[in-house]
Every structure is written in structure tokens, then in C-alpha cells.
Structure 1
Amino acid sequence: MHPVELLELVIVCGTLLVTLLISFILKGKWRKIIQGLALLFLVSFVIFYFVRPYWIDMQIEKKVGYIQIYLEERYPVETWEYRTVPHREDGYESSNPYHIGVIFDTEPQVEYKYFARNKGDVIQLGWSTSELQSDSNNLMHLEVLED
């Protein structure tokens, strides 16, 4: 379990415990109202916890589509493949699932990282290579940020 997930669980359990303790102090209809709110809070967290991976998958699909449009406009004669973070697998918790890797067929040893906020806002975050010696001057698809 990733430390962020552990922190989320601690916060939710703490909030739920405090809410239930407050409900036991109160009497009558207030006790039932507070316990109902605690139950609603618990159910909403469980739904959020199980829906979140699917939501991330949908967002990644949408962002890959934005990057596809951007790359088709910028490099019309190129072909490429995408590499996404397998965010549901162990060991990838610290990787941002919204950073999409692109490997161009003309430059297979270099992976460029892209991020898309929306359809018109796609940026190249960086690059990585498997070669020992790399020179950024020789990269064909390196995009320089303009001020």
C-alpha cells in the first residue's frame, strides 16, 4: 500500500471515529442523524475508492486522444506508439498516470513524455533514452518551451 493511500485511510478512519464518538455523546434524533451522516460518509468513501481507478483510466484515454490530435498536427508523416503508466499494478504508485510516453518510429530509443490538460493544451514534459550517452542536440522530436 502506497503511503498516500495509507494517509487517506487514516484520515477517513479518524473522521469516521470522531463522528461516531460525537454521535454517542448526543441523544435522541441527533444521534441517529450523526450516525446516518457517518454511514453516508463511509459509503461515499468506499464508492470513491473503487471508482477512482476507472475514472483515471477514462481520463488517460481522453488525454491520449488529445495527444494524438496534437502529434498528428505537429508530425503529420510520423508514426508513434504510446506508453502509459500501469497505475493499477504495484510498484507504479509514485508515477503520474497522466504523463503519457510517446515513442516515435524514427527514434525508437527515445521516449518523450507528454501531458495534456485539454484539447488545446498539450506540452512535452521531457524525454528519456536507453542509450548510455545521449545528447539532447541530436533529438529530432525535442520541443523547446517558448516564453
Structure 2
Amino acid sequence: MKNLKGEILLHPITAIETTVSIIFVIVTFIISLLLPKKIRKLSFIIGALLLMLLLLYFTIRPFWVDYQVSKKMELLNQYLRVKYPHQEWAISRQEGRQYNPHHLEVEFENEKGWKYTYLIVNEKNICQSIWTPPEGKLPEEGKHFESNHCE
């Protein structure tokens, strides 16, 4: 998220995850200070390992999600090529932590104003989950409306 000045802000979910993780690591280190001397060193090692794992998680996670989204886009493109062979479309994803990265929006060239959201579970299980028609239209009126449900 960015504010009006272009500064990057943490999404509330990320802020909560980070805060809880920091508190958990601090509590782990405080508890290790209170433990007897012979197991204090082991508890510090466990706390440091926990800290490193959390840092690794928060560093790698965005790249892992982007990788997964790129794979899902490939699968959706293959699915659409088979389902709608002579048509063109644009695939996008809703940005932000609150949106499911496995949901991708498709807008077809020959149906402007309509957005179809696809859920990609795996290569054999791709389905439309959300339809966004223009105002005053019903989803069933869309040229690319599919009523199949994911399993």
C-alpha cells in the first residue's frame, strides 16, 4: 500500500503478523533469561533460530506468492486458449494482502466492462468464481459466463 506521498505503508495484516512475531521472539528471549543457567544457552539458540526463521519467512514469502501467481496465470492462459480459442483477453490480479493470489481477473477484448474472476486450484480445476457485469446487467447475460463450480 502507498499513501498520497508515495510512501510505502504496511498492510494491516502484515503489520499484525510482524508485531505478533516480534512480541513472540522478545518473550522467548525474556523467558530464556529467566531459565536456569545450564539451559539458558540452549534457549537463546532456539530464540535466535526462531528469529532467523521468521526473518526468512517474511523475506521469501512475497517472492513465493509472485511465483505462484505467475504459474496460475500460465494455467489460466492455457485454459482460456482451449475454452475461447479465437479471442483475446487481459489477465490481472488484485493487488494487496487482503486479496487471494489464487483469484485472477480476466477481461475479454470483445466484452468490455465485464470482469470474470477465476479461481485456479490446479491445472484440472479452474473455474469462474466471481462475475462483475456492467451496471444493470446480470452475470448470466455475459458471453463468457460459466456456471461451473470448483471442487
The TM tier, using the shorter chain, reads: 0.7 to 0.9
Inter-partner Cα distance in structure 1 for 2:142 and 2:44: 60
Deviation of 1:96 (Å): 2.2
Match of 1:108 in 2: 112
Inter-partner Cα distance in structure 2 for 1:34 and 1:144: 55
Which range moved further: 34-43 or 77-86? 77-86
> Which portions of structure 1, spanning 4 or more consecutive aligned residues, are displaced by more than 6 angstroms?
none
Inter-partner Cα distance in structure 2 for 1:57 and 1:137: 32
Gap regions ≥5 residues in structure 1: 87-91
Give the aligned length.
141
Inter-partner Cα distance in structure 1 for 2:126 and 2:27: 44
Q: Aligned match of 1:78 in 58, 78, 87?
A: 87
Match of 1:134 in 2: 137
Match of 1:44 in 2: 53
Deviation of 1:110 (Å): 0.7
TM-score relative to the length of structure 2: 0.83
Gap regions ≥5 residues in structure 2: 1-9
Inter-partner Cα distance in structure 2 for 1:54 and 1:137: 37
Provide the alpha-carbon RMSD of the alignment. Answer: 1.8
- Mapping 1:22-101, distance limit 5 Å: 22-86=31-95, 92-101=96-105
> 2:7 matched to 1:5?
no
Identity %, equivalent residues: 27
Deviation of 1:24 (Å): 0.8
Deviation of 1:38 (Å): 0.6
SS state at 2:54 partner: helix
Cα offsets for 1:106-146 (capped at 9, x unmatched): 112211101111111111111214x3322323201000126
Inter-partner Cα distance in structure 1 for 2:94 and 2:141: 26
Q: Which residue type is aligned with residue 66 of structure 2?
A: D
